[in-house]
């Protein structure tokens, strides 16, 4: 049974992630954002019928130029995203420096997108993610080993590289079907 299922994983992958062809000039950041949003939409612990909009906070380190730049890039991409995959719900995006994460209304968030850089502030963000059941996400798969629940990168063939931290998913109350977890290229239980 498991062998038969594995044969269908590439088809499931293609159906779930219909990424544009490389010659369409779509930037890697746009692809990462699309995959992250689709993964957020598949989190079964979110009751989309009970919320008016999906709220996502982007966290960055204000002392790190790369982190600031990526935060602004993803804020711009997400704000302009047409038809987010949240069962007809709108999406609101806010941007916060990591050192100010305590000033946020955590109970109203569905996801926290943590930018690379400023890893020293991860505990300040991951604790409220667990306390308030907010899915932690990143564009840097290396952060999964540091406690981020979901991270996405794009490989040279423009395919998503998805990583899950199963322990963090459990702490944050995230629930994914086995078919989604099968899409992961790496998983950790730390």
Domain chopping of the chain, boundaries: 2-188
- Helix, strand or coil for residue 36? helix
Residues paired with residue 58 on neighbouring β-strands, in sequence order: 95, 113
Distance CA 145, CA 175 (A): 19
- Element holding 129 (H helix, E strand): helix 122-132
pLDDT of residue 1: 46
Chain center to CA of 18: 17
Distance CA 41, CA 175 (A): 11
Helices (H) and strands (E) in the chain, counts: 6, 7
Distance CA 57, CA 173 (A): 18
Tell me the pLDDT tens digit for each residue of 27-81: 899 999 999 999 999 999 998 888 888 999 999 988 899 999 999 999 999 988 8
Distance CA 92, CA 124 (A): 22
Residue 133: CB atoms within 10 Å:
18
Distance CA 150, CA 139 (A): 9
Q: What is the pTM of this model?
A: 0.83
Tell me the CATH number of domain 2-188, given options 2.40.40.20, 3.40.430.10, 3.40.50.620, 3.40.50.2300.
3.40.50.2300
Q: pLDDT at residue 23 above 70?
A: no
Handedness of CA 18, 21, 22, 25 (dihedral sign): negative
Percent of the chain with pLDDT over 90: 55
């Amino acid at each position: 049974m498991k062998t038969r299922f594995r044969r269908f994983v590439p088809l499931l992958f293609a159906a779930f992630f219909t990424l544009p062809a490389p010659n369409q000039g779509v930037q890697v950041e746009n692809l990462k954002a699309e995959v992250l949003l689709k993964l957020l939409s598949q989190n079964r612990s979110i009751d989309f019928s009970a919320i008016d909009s999906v709220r996502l906070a982007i966290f960055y380190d204000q002392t790190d130029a790369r982190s600031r730049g990526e935060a602004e890039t993803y804020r711009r991409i997400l704000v302009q995203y047409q038809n987010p995959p949240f069962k007809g719900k709108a999406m609101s995006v806010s941007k916060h420096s990591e050192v100010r994460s305590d000033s946020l209304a955590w109970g109203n968030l569905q996801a926290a997108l943590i930018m690379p850089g400023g890893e020293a502030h991860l505990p300040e963000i991951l604790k409220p993610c667990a306390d308030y059941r907010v899915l932690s996400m990143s564009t840097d798969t290396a952060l999964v080993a540091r406690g981020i629940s979901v991270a996405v990168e794009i490989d040279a063939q423009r395919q998503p590289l998805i990583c899950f931290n199963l322990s963090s998913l459990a702490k944050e109350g995230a629930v994914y079907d086995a078919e989604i977890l099968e899409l992961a290229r790496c998983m950790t239980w730390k």
